[in-house]
Each structure stands twice: as C-alpha cells, then as structure tokens.
Amino acid sequence: MRRLLIAGNWKMNMKLDSAKALASGLKEAAAGITEVDIAVCPPSVYIAPVAEALAGSNIACGAQNAYFEKAGAFTGEVEMAMLTDLGCKYVILGHSERRHIMGESSELVNLKVHAALKAGLIPIVCVGELLKEREAGVTDLVNRRQFDGSFSGVSAEDMKKCVIAYEPVWAIGTGKVATPDQAQEVHANLRALIAERYGKEVADVVRIQYGGSVKAENAKDLLGQSDIDGALVGGASLKVDAFMGIINAVK
Ligand code: 13P
C-alpha cells in the first residue's frame, strides 16, 4: 500500500519571520498525524530556520531545486549534499516553472535526479503538459517524454525511492483543477509506463502525486483516485489552515 505524501511547495514566497511562523504553526497543527507523510519545501535560504522550527515534528523538509555538480565553482547554485546537511529529505526537480521559465530540459533534470539519489535525497520529479499540448491531444506523449528523459539510467531499486508529481501546467495557480477522472487517467498511464520500463513490482510502489490548484475542497476526490498518491500543493500550502485542511481531508 502506498502512503500518501502531502508536500507544500512554497515557491518564492515568505520572509524569515513568516516562514518560521508557518513551520511552527504546522508543527503544532499536524502533531499526532501518522496516517500520511507530510513535507514542506521552503525557498532554499529558509530551509535551515524552517528545519529548526520543525525539529521533532512529523513534517519533513524538502528543497525546490538544486544543482547536479559536487561543490565547486558554480556561482549561485546549491549542491545536493548541502540539502542533506540541513536535514532535507526531499528535493523537487523539474517543476514546470523551472522547465518553462528557467528553460530546464529533461536532460538537466536527469543529471539532477542522479545527483539527488546519490546524495540520499528523494527526488520529487514533476511532469505535466501545457494547455495547448492537452488540446492538441499529446498529453501522454509529453508526459512520457518528460518521464523517460528525467529518469534515464535510473535503476529499478532507485526508481522505487522516487516520487513523481503530475502537474498539468494549465492547472497551476489558475484555480482550474483537473477533474479526478482527468487526473486519474494520466496517473494510470504514468504507472503503466513505469511498469513498461521497470516492471509491475516497481510501478506498484512509486508514489505519483497530483499538483495544480489542490485545496481542502477538492483534495478528497482527487486523492481518492486509485493512482493518485498525494498532492504537491502550491498556494494552499502557504497558510496553516489551508494546508491542514488538505491533510485532514485525506488522512
Ligand atoms: P498551486 O497549488 O498554487 O496551483 O501550485 C501547484 C504547484 O505548482 C505545486 O508545485
């Protein structure tokens, strides 16, 4: 049985005080919840204070991105080992905002996936189609390409550790949510693809989260689908009540 993973992607939001307050508020509100895995991914400069505020809680810390190289002359970048150093468990890789705003390719995401696994981090690898791709009927093709590119060379044992986040780009920050049926269809196709590449045993354990305008009101229906194993939450992860509303709706 796959455990649900509810992760908050804070994106480029918060300041030091609000980040610490959100972390402390979540620690208190989520105390005692053992039915689901919970994580928050603050901006990298706030990981240390957030991890400190979450110490002793059931909420793990993650990062939103990192570079694939080992320490060296890479101005402005963060190494995977720096994230484990701060107590991170997860790292989001290949988020659509990085693919489409920063121009990250699946080849680059792939290098990062290997580096994250080597460092002992759990990569949360995002895939998802643009609205025009969905309308052109190439949703599965786009997701398959992003999956194959991002996981190239990853062993079956490592694949089992990875998390995939299906985030249709047209549903991110727009208030437009994929219907549970639309999301389930893509999730089932992604799981079938994992089975094709790695076999059923691996496909059965890999968690596939849904992301895109998830909130307390729609979380139960989405996460009630058989192949949806959690949520990657943007806007609704920035307030204790909104994030806890999602967790309480699905736990
Ligand atoms: P929203 O929940 O704000 O739509 O963001 C989704 C997302 O991109 C999470 O990574």
Q: Residue ranges per domain, the chain?
A: 5-250
Closest atom of ligand 1 relative to the 165 alpha carbon: 10
User: pLDDT at position 1, please?
Assistant: 79
Candidates 114, 133, 167, 187; catalytic one: 167
Note whether 73 and 42 are within 8 A (CB): no
Please identify which residue in the block is written with the tokens 């094709």: 196
pTM of structure: 0.98
40-66 residue pLDDT tens: 999 999 999 999 999 999 999 999 999
Choosing from 5, 6, 10, 11 the residue with most ligand 1 atoms within 8 A of its CB, the one to mutate for a pocket test is: 11
- Can you name the residues that pair with 163 across neighbouring β-strands? 124, 207
Partner residues linked to 67 by β-bridges: 79
Per the annotation, the verdict on 95 as an active-site residue is yes
Ligand 1: residue of 130, 167, 222, 239 to mutate (most ligand atoms within 8 A of CB) is: 167
d(CA 125, CA 134): 20
- Residue 191 is predicted with a pLDDT of 98
Could you list the mean pLDDT of each consecutive 10-residue stretch along the chain, which spans 251 residues? 96 98 98 97 98 98 98 98 98 98 98 98 98 97 98 98 98 92 98 98 98 97 98 98 98 93
Cα(19)–Cα(212) distance, integer angstroms: 22
Place of tokens 């643009």: 130
101-115 per-position pLDDT tens digit: 999 999 999 999 999
Question: Does CATH place domain 5-250 in 3.20.20.70?
Answer: yes
pLDDT for 198 equals: 98
Chain centroid, CA 182 distance in Å? 19
Catalytic site includes residue 167: yes
What residues flank ligand 1, with Cβ below 6 Å? Answer: 9, 95, 167, 172-173, 211-214, 232-236
CB atoms within 10 A of CB 240: 18
Q: How far apart are CA 34 and CA 30, in angstroms?
A: 9
